Amino acid sequence: MPTLNPLQVGDISYPEFAITTTLPISADLPIVKGTIYTIDAAGNLIAVTDTVVKGIFQASTKAPTNATAGSNLVQCLCQRSRILMSAPAGIVRGDSINLTAGGKAITAGAKASVNYIGTVFELYTKPDTGVTKKVTELNDLVVIDLAGI
């Protein structure tokens, strides 16, 4: 029997709901798989600072820092995809999700927030007991339907 590797943040959990694109990287930005990025006016991936304003993209691969903006490309999952993220405790199915600065952490919050990225579709981490989880524990994986921004 083959060994199965569990999915991790940045992996494609629902291939039929995975919309991918390849985007150039802004200068001096190391790309970390699973991190959420946005784009600048030139269409290069940039880190999320205060607000998500030009789209939401989750890196599905990692890429090294490049010396010249636009010289390296990275595959990303984009709006309307279902993505995996690590959740804080207390998240439930249907929660509106906001992104914290840096693009690696999420919180439950208002859909009208400037950092709104989508809604929890599923609590991906399953307990060993066989009972369906209703609320996340720290670092459980959740599937988020990315919003179209």
The pLDDT tens digits for 89-123 are 999 999 999 888 777 888 888 887 778 889 999 99
> What pTM was estimated for this model as a whole?
0.86
Q: What percent of the chain has pLDDT over 90?
A: 32
- Number of CB atoms found within 10 A of residue 24's CB: 18
**What's the one-letter identity of residue 39?**
I
Query: Hey, which residues does 21 pair with through a beta bridge?
Result: 76
Nearest of 31, 20, 3 to residue 146 by alpha carbon: 20
Please check whether residue 119 is in contact with residue 50, taking contact to mean a CB–CB distance below 8 angstroms. no
Nearest of 32, 46, 26, 34 to residue 9 by alpha carbon: 34
